Structure 1
């Protein structure tokens, strides 16, 4: 009980300390430059409709091809431009029956029951080896490189080579035709295994014991050729990195820790003990911590192996994660191969049953040493292979796979710690700068789709820039680099992205180029240029170590001041565009440091100066400087004038001008409307006058019109008055014509297509009297003897217009009046006339 309380107190103390440190400012290294998705240059992206999970990348630099394994598809892309495919894509989907079986076993048909490509590596010069989850039934086969075709006939069981679950991590390597894989070996994911198969050697695997592997999460592996130039005749080794639940600590029996394990390439298992099991399997804890506070990052996320031809210089970069309260923290630790070797050559750890706790093994260690590779000393003693090792050595190795020593990181602390950042992937390039010094450049992917580029300068790390690789936030799930072409490739759920190692063109000045401390960029006489783009190194400026900008030869120059006029009593914001995220703004007023000006109205913000309630005392010259590494660069210059009357301010003048223009438009529109109103009134009057004249004319012309027979003037009734014609200039001639006669207003003769009384057409000889261009009239009786029978019997298409007299004068008028009333019911009827 007392020990439990003690453990709880220790736990609480550590948690409080972690919370305090998680808020520390030095746990957040700021990238010097931020480049958004739209501002990326020389970037290329690849994706296909209805395809996702571009997470398995394999780069062949000799053939300059990037192979991409996705969900149920494999692509071969040109390394220099991933938007172009070398060959048509391979479709490798799981059959429908396999997907149905996957669903019947309780898996999700939207996420689990597909064939996710999880392993893709070069097998030999002609083939790739590929494995997929195959709807929770892993399968592996070969791809013929030349034609880029999948050999389904050679498909084999992928158990132990590829995980069942696409969400589970795993790792694998092909070494000399043999596959070394670390994964979960069953459907339920409860049987972890580190396996070797495919080759001419026996299949080898780990012992199924919690002391060997206890719920591991495999994240990476590495092949180290330690036999090269070895005086002791050592064997090559394969290293595996993972996290697992540890049982060796008293207080934290369920604590997760980071591990590194190794096996020897020549291991063939034991003859009786550990048959077809690793006899060289050893593991040790990887420590990544802040030593002064004893704070440990226990969960390893991924690892990258950086090695050259000299394997002794091999280093491993691991990303570790921790979550303390609501703070996500990522750390990067660096490990040397010699430190790992030292841990595996050190003391073993054992479980003491009497004390019921773990401790260092202190008894005599059997000979030959358990877990060691076969070396020259073994051969001298007659042990040429692991099959010849004695049982006491093998039994000890079976029971003591864990080493007591911890593998400390370089410098015994992380090289980088970031709070509120989730690092997911890392790759490293070793570059020679213009000075001849070598630097490690780290490319680190984040869970939000950004890429951090950092350079290690001694024990310090400087983040050069951060790039937004994906517009939509998503984890960077894989990274590979081409060291020859200086290109980086990133894979995610939706895209493959290709970017160059450096975009030096973003640095517009010599000072900016040198302050970047980018080993890939140098300043020439005219621009900041990528070193690889230069045929030879001319006279260039670069200082990765100290960023000494005194190397730059500044040319005198000044910015043009921006004149501003504001009204007293208002607020104004003066922008200040800094050249980097590491720069701070420095303002001067009238050539004096603004910090020394006793005025509470100034507020210096990261990218602007706010002046509140401006007054005449604020008028004058303002300058903004971007200060970085104690060097200042003028980035803004303003001349501010404060006026008391709003009408004198530029803004007020603009507003007044706008108001005057608006009133002018209103006045002009008013005048136009008034003129239009006058025109309407005038036209209305003219229309009324014309209507009155028309009405008077119609009143004067209310006479009866009809075809009539020829009558002489002497035959007209007594008292008849002749009315002159208004439509012809030959009125006298018409009146003299014997063919037409006009009444006194009660009768008017109009020409019509009339026939003579005898039924024949009128005469058209030269003596015929008629109006030119008009049909001849029909001869009917005069009004004194006109009746309806005469009208109805007239075979004519002319018409009669009658001036009706008083009611009851004669039967004809009465009957005609009734007809006219019926006519008025029609839409186009004229009450003064009717066709009969």
Structure 2
């Protein structure tokens, strides 16, 4: 039977029907959620060959938590569980083990730890928590030591670690936490160790302490300078002060219950404690609130980590910190990176104080007079008793330190941050941030003009999700080292070779990468800069950066492909033409020559083009990417029929071609589609399924009237009627039912066996 109205023969019509049926069976393509902040342009999953990582691990070791880079940048010292390692990172690739020294907790301490109801499988070990360079010949290390903190000096010989002598191990209370899960911070400044940790077994007594020098100073527990749940994340020195960054429950907001807040505390380096008051205590301790929030939004009130960025191009150093929120917006966690100027921090500490009204238990702004020198300042000489009495109660600043949000992203929790400065070809400095997440990913972010950050790439470091415990930047090696439970990952800070074209290299806007016009490769930027290299970090415009000569800034796409993939298909078959997505920031569409793809015989599913091959649908198919108002072909296919090959387009002459002999297959959403399929198996399958459905429906329709007739022939209430009480078959008036007795009535006053239908 011919179908002249449609112009299709029966087989083509059947093919079109099955193609539309296949499209209905495919799950819908879900669009990416919006409003989640910057999207990484490129994502690399664990084991991706395009992003080669180098993993160092030891089968008998775990919990590689503490990382320390040597002064010459060639050795990485690692604090693991019950061991300290020295790794040679001078050569690229997997770090080589120089040597390792064991430092286990003693059996006596382990037994005491287990007796105190701690786990001897996960807790009663020596977890290294402090590892700093004391001088050129010694390191200083501290560990939990089975809930009995201990510290020791470690001698160095040619960057190798010398064994730890038991008689050199000292008490580490106040320098290392008891519990390995408690957060802590420590920094060595002018030969003295400044630590922030928990000072007791229960983890309810936070302390800021200065050791390895005289006098030893610490915070006063009874004055409530720190809340019992204070959690320290970083310590940063400056010219006169040492700043501690931590998070605790706020006490000044009485209209909230257990409101977490982020703090920065300050102590003077030259603090010597009081003579009569505050003996062996800080006399310059002050703290202020850190505020990281977008206008009109809830603040990110939990600080996770902070680092100092001494930018050479700026006279004012900045602190960059990562935050999360105690509130979940839309059921997901979110994170932010905020920048704080040290000048703003110092200005807040020079401002007004808060004081606690002991009658109302409310914090208010202190409006009284101040003594000279100002309480909390780094004045020379001992402070007066009046000033120390004032400091005991006026340790909280009235004003907040407001930060500038650089990056806000939902559905992610950042744990660690390291920063560096990268210069582009024009000599401009760019801030590059490396951010570790709770799921084991590393984000590389670049801050552009206007203090807005973009994510260049996301790298999944570990096969199974787990937090990134530490990050260490090694600028001389051009790498970032990430510590986690199973080892240390070496991550090259740039992956320029993955950008195979000038367009992709320029659109990446990675300050570490530039396109070399001579070698036609995307190369890692190094000094001295070559004139043949091209970059556009701010605009990312390939129109001029990738042109051999002067070109105008037009928005016309460049349509000539670099290579064409030839596909020979069977008529009336289904093809799947994949489209690789080199950038998550681009939008993608398909074209058929100079026109759009035919809608009647094609569909786009998860970026791939599903094509029903029939007369007139062959030719050139291209997948286009549009990014930053620039369009370029990602992949080009020349589709031919095995029965009637098309004539070669003269405009495509000279372009290299690659024959696709194997069928193109791809799995998406649980559905695997072959590039070339016969319709006959589909036809038989659909026919059998249709017959089964129709048979089931017919049986159901026939069974329903029969069931109704049977139900109407039954007695209401009881089942079968007794003999002799059947309904008459004629039209005569039925016999009058006999009179019932009391025994014929049930508990609900219903007649039994007397009514007949």
Q: TM-score range by the shorter chain?
A: 0.7 to 0.9
- Larger relative contact order (C-alpha < 8 A, sep ≥ 6)? 2
- Contact between 2:561 and 2:635, CA under 8 Å: does it hold in 1? no
Q: 1:573 aligns with which of 567, 571, 576?
A: 576
Q: 2:406 aligns with which of 409, 415, 419?
A: 415
Instruction: Provide the residue aligned with 2:175 in structure 1.
Output: 161
Deviation (angstroms), 1:537:
3.0
Instruction: Provide the residue aligned with 1:199 in structure 2.
Output: 213
- Contact between 1:428 and 1:443, CA under 8 Å: does it hold in 2? yes
Q: Does the alignment pair 1:28 with 2:22?
A: no
- Contact between 1:433 and 1:520, CA under 8 Å: does it hold in 2? yes
Q: 2:137 aligns with which of 120, 123, 126?
A: 126
What secondary structure, in the 3-state scheme, does the structure 1 residue paired with 2:223 have?
A: coil
Paired with 1:359 and 1:106, the residues of 2 have a C-alpha distance of: 44
- Contact between 2:443 and 2:459, CA under 8 Å: does it hold in 1? yes
Structure 1 432/96 Cα, relative in aligned 2: closer, same or farther at 3 Å? Answer: same
Q: Does the alignment pair 1:275 with 2:279?
A: yes
TM-score by length of structure 1 reads 0.68
Matches for 1:23-62 after TM superposition, within 5 Å: 25-38=34-47, 39=49, 41=51, 43-62=53-72
Q: Residue by residue, what CA displacement relative to the aligned partner does 1:357-405 show, whole Å, maximum 9, x if unpaired?
A: 222222223332111111xxxxxxxxx32x2x12221111110111111
Instruction: Provide the residue aligned with 1:148 in structure 2.
Output: 161
Q: Does the alignment pair 1:544 with 2:557?
A: no
Instruction: Provide the residue aligned with 1:377 in structure 2.
Output: none
Q: Does the alignment pair 1:313 with 2:316?
A: yes
What secondary structure, in the 3-state scheme, does the structure 2 residue paired with 1:37 have?
A: coil
Paired with 2:576 and 2:94, the residues of 1 have a C-alpha distance of: 45
**Structure with the largest fraction of helix:** 1
- Contact between 1:160 and 1:193, CA under 8 Å: does it hold in 2? yes
Q: 2:147 aligns with which of 136, 157, 160?
A: 136
Paired with 1:516 and 1:58, the residues of 2 have a C-alpha distance of: 31
Q: Does the alignment pair 1:434 with 2:438?
A: no
What secondary structure, in the 3-state scheme, does the structure 2 residue paired with 1:101 have?
A: helix
Instruction: Provide the residue aligned with 1:185 in structure 2.
Output: 199
What secondary structure, in the 3-state scheme, does the structure 1 residue paired with 2:402 have?
A: coil
Matched positions, count: 602
Q: 1:405 aligns with which of 399, 402, 414?
A: 399
Q: Does the alignment pair 1:563 with 2:573?
A: no
Instruction: Provide the residue aligned with 2:555 in structure 1.
Output: none
Paired with 2:300 and 2:625, the residues of 1 have a C-alpha distance of: 37
What secondary structure, in the 3-state scheme, does the structure 1 residue paired with 2:183 have?
A: coil
**Structure with the largest fraction of strand:** 2
Q: Residue by residue, what CA displacement relative to the aligned partner does 1:337-356 show, whole Å, maximum 9, x if unpaired?
A: 01111111111112224444
Deviation (angstroms), 1:603:
3.5
- Contact between 2:569 and 2:613, CA under 8 Å: does it hold in 1? no
Paired with 1:491 and 1:176, the residues of 2 have a C-alpha distance of: 28
Paired with 2:316 and 2:362, the residues of 1 have a C-alpha distance of: 37
Q: 2:79 aligns with which of 69, 91, 98?
A: 69
Structure 1 644/309 Cα, relative in aligned 2: closer, same or farther at 3 Å? Answer: closer
Q: 1:352 aligns with which of 351, 357, 363?
A: 357
Q: 2:109 aligns with which of 89, 98, 115?
A: 98
Q: Higher mean Cα deviation, 500-509 or 65-74?
A: 500-509
Deviation (angstroms), 1:311:
9.1
Matches for 1:155-304 after TM superposition, within 5 Å: 155-225=169-239, 236-291=240-295, 293-304=296-307
Instruction: Provide the residue aligned with 2:21 in structure 1.
Output: none
Deviation (angstroms), 1:515:
0.8
Instruction: Provide the residue aligned with 1:117 in structure 2.
Output: 128
Q: Does the alignment pair 1:506 with 2:517?
A: no
In structure 2, list runs of 5 or more residues that go unmatched.
Answer: 1-31, 549-557, 645-661, 664-673, 682-757
Q: Does the alignment pair 1:582 with 2:575?
A: no
- Contact between 1:564 and 1:638, CA under 8 Å: does it hold in 2? no
Rg: which structure is higher?
A: 1
Matches for 1:713-728 after TM superposition, within 5 Å: none
- Contact between 1:32 and 1:582, CA under 8 Å: does it hold in 2? yes
Matches for 1:736-815 after TM superposition, within 5 Å: none
Paired with 1:632 and 1:433, the residues of 2 have a C-alpha distance of: 25
Paired with 1:437 and 1:543, the residues of 2 have a C-alpha distance of: 11
- Contact between 1:194 and 1:206, CA under 8 Å: does it hold in 2? no
Paired with 2:529 and 2:336, the residues of 1 have a C-alpha distance of: 38
Matches for 1:386-785 after TM superposition, within 5 Å: 387=382, 389-410=383-404, 414-458=405-449, 459-525=451-517, 526-533=519-526, 535-550=528-543, 551-553=545-547, 557-568=561-572, 571-594=574-597, 599=599, 602-611=602-611, 616=615, 618-640=617-639
